Structure 1
């Protein structure tokens, strides 16, 4: 098992390999020192490599003379023990083997949405597209929300001059009907355990779930079965069920985002990420989004003051990991049970 350390002791020896490892894609970079921009390597498909170790060797170590001494990995999966299974990917992260076989002295593993949370502190304004009004309070709490394969949610809380990422399962909060149209559609949504969670609508398969429920509510045929087909049909108007599905998807995302803003008192902003956010951005109606986001009586005024941004950086988690690698003391990352060192 990894050693027990307090976060104040974290010092990852340079150069540091950083990696964002998702279910489908993996991205790598090396941070040479505390002042350097990360040296990036080509993104890869996880399915193209048998193991993480092989990917690091072939994509990074074989392509550079810079030999990283430590590694900070963000993974899509629960971190429990010395063998870490990834969600939607066959790779298993074995930090002890990375140390023994690839020469690392330290390996730190964190959740992928913790890295997203670190990124919302690290990203420059040019990579943030505002949705409506609101004013960011610099040192206030922030939340990142990402509809993709699932619905990822994480907060980053400011306290004691430190940014503390808070990962959780916020994507599984209840999502209920509010309007007459909602009440017509929701009885036809597929449920889990008799309830509709945010992730039952606000992810790829959730969009299909919503599309099918709209079709059933109206007695119309559900002609599409893939989220990418639904978004495409909504853009060109070729399927009116798809048009409504995408617009309701955006509205429901705004409602959940507003809920998270209240939970975290996120005066530092709500940050939207995830593959689906980028795809639906061309048809995102800012006024409709903000109307749903702000409608949180008796706290409408608080929500109206809270800014919402779409993250426009295609490798935001690497930016977060890079910021952590350069200045770990800036962040209160809990490393207990997640930091391995050579014997």
Structure 2
């Protein structure tokens, strides 16, 4: 069945393939040289700078995986709303009256614009008055008013939120995870006994691709693996022992000093990544001195991210070296992405989510 493009909308065309820089980005050969454990190295530079590869990841990763988007403590009351742009798809999770979570696609997937503006076709999330747009940056969690949803939530909810395309949303320990496939199998079991030490997340943005960010944050020696996660041991910049867990695709948990720093990665451009950062700890842990903890963890993250920023700068050059090394987390992540690219359903799939030529389900 042919897919008809929405009027005024310039769509992705996965049926035409994903090509950039003279390469077929979905071909197993594109990944092959970077998956050898004896010589672990990064993917070719196009994987970190080409919009076509970001489109491929949207189709293979961000729409088909359990994504960490925030803390349950950010939306404590009924009708509170937490937005998240998954790839090119604007979605949100809202607290239900019974305390559960309801996930939905936003009312507006491209800002209500009659056509998608040129600046929104670059893969860079723009600052826009239509904050629910699938091309724009997310705001913080929105608290409900005394009488329920506020006017600011309209761009997410519309007039009939029950008619919006559903998103699977789950409590995952103290965190919230979503999957754009409402019939997805449940995610892996979360770590035991963790609670949010603060009801807020803080944000930091770095000039690097999300894959490089994940590799840098999850630096360590591999000691265990599960289908959707990799577990490592390492040390903080201070020399203190730490354990690290990378949960595919966008969650890194760094545990040290009786605390866990939860870092949720969100691409805001092919070469730009926003980190949503939360502080977790064992149940019953005192929450005094949190500002010192925040300062220490933000400094640790900045130290870990420095190599990723340098690698992105190197890969952005026309003469980029294709032999930059990958660590254990990077190799595992690349293998996971390659497997999902090859496992994608045929592009003739006309489910609303994957019929991207119809306007990404909006």
Q: Bigger radius of gyration, 1 or 2? A: 1
Q: Which has the higher helix share?
A: 1
Higher relative contact order (CA 8 A, sep 6+): 1
Common fold: TM-score over 0.5:
no
TM-score, length-normalised on structure 1? 0.29
TM-score, length-normalised on structure 2? 0.27
